[in-house]
Amino acid sequence: MTNRNIIMLHVLDTDIYEFFGSPASLFDKHEAKELLITKTSLNNHFSKLALSGKPLVYRNSYCEIRKAPIYVKPTTRGRKRTEE
């Protein structure tokens, strides 16, 4: 099983939740000025938390951003069959 993550953005004012496949895709839709953090700073924050074993959560006055593993069912779609 591959190691995949999901990024959850919770906008506190409007109570809206959005889900992304990576921090890069989060910043494709939202600007750093809006989220009050840059992509590099967010990645560094998550890296430091991962080393300490803490949950990967960033929170400020505007939003909460969480990073967590997502579990997907293994698939064989797109793989060539080996003939015996």
The string of pLDDT tens digits covering residues 41-52 is: 999 999 999 898
The string of pLDDT tens digits covering residues 67-79 is: 999 888 877 777 7
pTM of the full structure: 0.80
Structure tokens at 3: 């190691």
**What is the pLDDT averaged over residues 1-18?**
89
Torsion 52-57-61-62 (CA) sign: positive
Between the alpha carbon of residue 83 and those of residues 10, 80, the distances in Å are 49, 9
